[in-house]
């Protein structure tokens, strides 16, 4: 069974502080799934079969009204060669846009692994739940290379879906046995696991610098390019950018995303830089937790131009093994934050090899600010509240 599902995957890919509530705000709930059962995602089939588990049934939910169709914006051909479709910014080396992006798994836990290095150079960072009120990050590098990038983390099931959706290479520290089997049999030309490429692709830094494993995305790209001879130019159009923000639905100067009292991702809008800056949990000497600004190893704020919360269904295999469903047939809700404003939006993945598309409630592409984007994959059971004007709290719950 493992071989059969792995083969299907191969054919597919190679072929193509907590806040007190002061005002009531609507709880965001997802759109209903279509009544007809959709075919399981090939990556889900492969990893589920390898693990030998059955996912839990998704809960029902009440929708808020949204339009039904989802257009895909395609930039003019003259711009495709010069503008990064994941940031809307011109690139200094257009040749990078003719190669696969590099998706690097980053650890956010345990706390001792922080700070990040190289994260501010990513075009898009994906955040998702891994169990026990903790998260992992996956940083996507396309329009530029970065070194060093770390700390490197192990792979999870959902990484294969991101890898397929963004037609990328995948760089990881390790993988569970079942996932390692799928990667080495079917995705080996596109997978870099710690130890299988020489320095400077992977290296462990001195203890004085953290002692973590980090990577050089350019060296990883060069090493993987030697594994296959065919040329693949990714098609990553779909995101829309505009330096002039559309009229927002609400103001958004702070968003606090709480997994638990010891696990918080809090975003503050900085009007001077016009970016959202990350604050995170910190355990103090007395054992209590506080929230402090998150800075990279160079001392710069971890800051992004766009913050996107994507609501959907987590699939539970065990208390430390989760997957996430990418909606193709039925759009789901999203929150988009840019330029101090919040937008009620929706999202979906139009096809197996198509990046995430965002639209507003009038069925029009929703323009992000040109620059870098942080995307959070959030459970449909996440509770959304507004503390005060422009201050939002999201309380994560997988069930």
pLDDT in tens, 162-184: 999 999 999 999 999 999 999 99
pLDDT at 319: 85
pLDDT at 17: 39
**Which of 136, 207, 142, 216 is CA-nearest to residue 174?**
136
Q: Is the pLDDT of residue 80 over 80?
A: no
Produce one character per residue of 364-376: b if its CB has 16 or more CB atoms within 10 Å, e if not. ebbbbbbbbbbbb
pLDDT at 65: 33
Going along the chain from its start, the domains and CATH numbers come out as: 2-395 (3.50.90.10)
Q: Is the pLDDT of residue 158 over 70?
A: yes
pLDDT in tens, 368-378: 999 999 999 99
Q: Is the pLDDT of residue 260 over 60?
A: yes
Ranges 35-49, 274-288, 353-367: which has the least confidence: 35-49
* Averaged confidence pLDDT in the chain: 84
Reported confidence tier of residue 40, pLDDT bands at 50, 70, 90: very low
**Segment 147-169 mean pLDDT:** 97
Reported confidence tier of residue 352, pLDDT bands at 50, 70, 90: confident
Reported confidence tier of residue 101, pLDDT bands at 50, 70, 90: very high
Write down the H helix ranges in 16-97. Answer: 42-51, 77-80
pLDDT at 329: 84
């Amino acid at each position: 069974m493992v071989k059969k599902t792995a083969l299907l995957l191969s054919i597919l890919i190679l072929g193509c502080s907590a806040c007190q509530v002061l005002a009531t705000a609507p709880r965001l709930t997802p759109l209903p799934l279509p009544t007809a059962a959709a075919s399981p995602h090939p990556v889900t089939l492969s990893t589920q079969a390898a693990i030998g588990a059955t996912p839990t049934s998704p809960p029902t939910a009440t929708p808020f009204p949204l339009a039904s169709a989802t257009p895909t914006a395609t930039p003019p051909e003259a711009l495709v060669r010069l503008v990064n479709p994941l940031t809307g910014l011109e690139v200094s080396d257009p040749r990078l846009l003719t190669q696969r992006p590099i998706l690097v798994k980053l650890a956010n836990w345990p706390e001792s692994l922080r700070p990040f290095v190289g994260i501010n150079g990513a075009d898009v960072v994906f955040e998702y739940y891994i169990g026990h009120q903790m998260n992992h990050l996956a940083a996507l590098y396309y329009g530029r290379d970065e070194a060093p990038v770390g700390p490197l983390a192990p792979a999870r099931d959902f990484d294969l879906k991101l890898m397929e959706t963004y037609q990328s290479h995948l760089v990881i520290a390790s993988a569970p046995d079942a996932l390692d089997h799928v990667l080495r049999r079917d995705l080996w030309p596109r997978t870099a696991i710690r130890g299988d490429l020489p320095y400077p692709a992977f290296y462990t830094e001195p203890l004085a610098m953290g002692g973590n494993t980090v990577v050089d995305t350019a060296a990883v790209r060069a090493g993987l390019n030697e594994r296959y001879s065919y040329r693949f130019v990714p098609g990553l159009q779909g995101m829309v950018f505009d330096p002039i923000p559309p009229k927002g639905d609400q103001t958004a100067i702070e968003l606090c995303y709480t997994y638990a009292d010891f696990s918080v991702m809090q975003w503050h809008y900085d009007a001077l830089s016009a970016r959202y800056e990350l604050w995170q949990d910190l355990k103090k000497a007395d054992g209590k937790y506080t929230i402090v600004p998150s800075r990279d190893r160079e001392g710069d704020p971890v800051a992004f131009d766009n913050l996107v919360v994507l609501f959907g269904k987590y699939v539970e295999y065990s208390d430390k093994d989760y997957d996430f469903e990418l909606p193709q047939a039925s759009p789901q809700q999203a929150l988009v934050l840019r330029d101090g404003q919040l937008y009620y939006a929706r999202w979906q993945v139009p096809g197996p090899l198509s990046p995430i598309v965002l639209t507003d409630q009038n069925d029009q592409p929703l323009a992000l600010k040109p620059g870098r984007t942080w995307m959070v994959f959030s459970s449909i059971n996440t509770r959304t509240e507004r503390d005060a004007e422009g201050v939002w709290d999201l309380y994560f719950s997988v069930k």
